[in-house]
Amino acid sequence: MYEGVVQDLIDELGRLPGVGPKSAQRIAFYLLQADPADVRRLVEVLTTVKEKVRFCATCGNVSEEELCRICRDPRRDTTMICVVEESKDVIAIEKTREFRGTYHVLGGAISPIEGIGPDNLRIRELMTRLANVEIKELILATDPNLEGEATATYLARLVKGMGFTVSRLASGLPVGGDLEYADEVTLGRAFEGRRSLEY
């Protein structure tokens, strides 16, 4: 145990995800030896992030203003909405530079075993959005695990007959992997979604 404030710092750092007691101690001593200006900058960023960051009123993504950067951008195609579980997924899709539409962040997936039902997610907001804006395609990009799959199934059933295309991200073999190690479900889906090669 260290004295007073040093131990407090170690304890606080130890509460962060993925930081164990040893790592917390290492970070604490790094901060003690670091340049005061660097530490001040870190403190400022931490304070600002808590004060400024909120959730976009339209899509639920993290934002510093009423609307997030993507929802504010007039070049974005608002007739396409991509539904994702978390803000982290928006960034992952943005990195691909394949999608020019807008997003909707659900805030998780339906998981009855954890007590999370449709009412605990931003599904009602999605339905309001779908009713008020002209939509051509709704892309369900929830995680390719069972909870994500079940959430996509639920949403697809909910918006049935609303007059736009509903699509689901393809599942299949990861680039850079070996076919022999692919599990049966993934390989089965890869077969289901195979495409013809025409030159």
Partner 1 sequence: MGLYRDEAIVLRTQKLGEADRIVTLLTREHGQLRAVAKGVRRTTSRFGSRLEPATHVDLQLHTGKNLEIVTQAETINPYGDVISRDYQKWTVASAMLETAERFTSMEHEPALQQFLLLFSALRSLSTSSHDASLILDAFLLRSLAVGGYAPSFSQCSRCGASGPHRWFSLVAGGSVCVDCRPTGSATSATDTLELLTALLTGDWDSAETSTPRARREASGLVAAYLSWHMERNLRSLPLVERV
C-alpha distance from residue 162 to each of 106, 137, 196 (Å)? 20, 11, 31
Residues 3, 98, 134, 183: which binds partner 1 (CB under 8 A)?
183
Rg of the chain on CA atoms, in Å: 22
97/157 with CB nearer partner 1: 157
Question: Distance from CA of residue 187 to its chain's centroid?
Answer: 25
| Least CB distance to partner 1 at residue 184 (A) | 5
Q: Give the interface segment with partner 1, choosing from 39-47, 71-79, 159-167, 183-191 (CB under 8 A).
A: 183-191
The rounded distance, in Å, linking the Cα atoms of 102 and 90 is: 10
The Cα 138–Cα 156 span in angstroms is 9
Query: 172 — phi, psi (to 5°)?
Result: 175, -155
Q: How many CA atoms lie within 13 A of 194 on its CB side?
A: 7
Minimum CB–partner distance for residue 102 and partner 1 (Å): 25
- 113 scored as a contact of partner 1 (CB under 8 A): yes
| Residue from the set 47, 48, 145, 165 that interacts with partner 1 by CB under 8 A | 145
3-state secondary structure of 117: coil
Which has the closest alpha carbon to 88: 71, 105, 110?
Answer: 105
18 binds partner 1 (CB under 8 A): yes
Nearer to partner 1 among residue 65 and residue 192 (C-beta): 192
Burial class (CB in 10 A: 0-12, 13-18, 19+), 160: exposed
Of residues 159 through 178, those in contact with partner 1 by CB under 8 A are 174, 176-177
Instruction: In whole angstroms, give the CA distance from residue 145 to residue 151.
Output: 10
179 lies in the site for partner 1, by CB under 8 A: no
Cβ 161 to partner 1 shortest distance, Å: 16
The site for partner 1, by CB under 8 A, has a size of 25
- Shortest Cβ distance from residue 99 to partner 1 (Å)? 18
User: With CB under 8 A as the contact rule, which of the stretches 37-45, 78-86, 110-118, 132-140 interacts with partner 1?
Assistant: 110-118
Q: Which residues bind partner 1 (CB under 8 A)?
A: 18, 110-115, 117, 145-146, 149-150, 153-154, 157, 174, 176-177, 181-186, 188
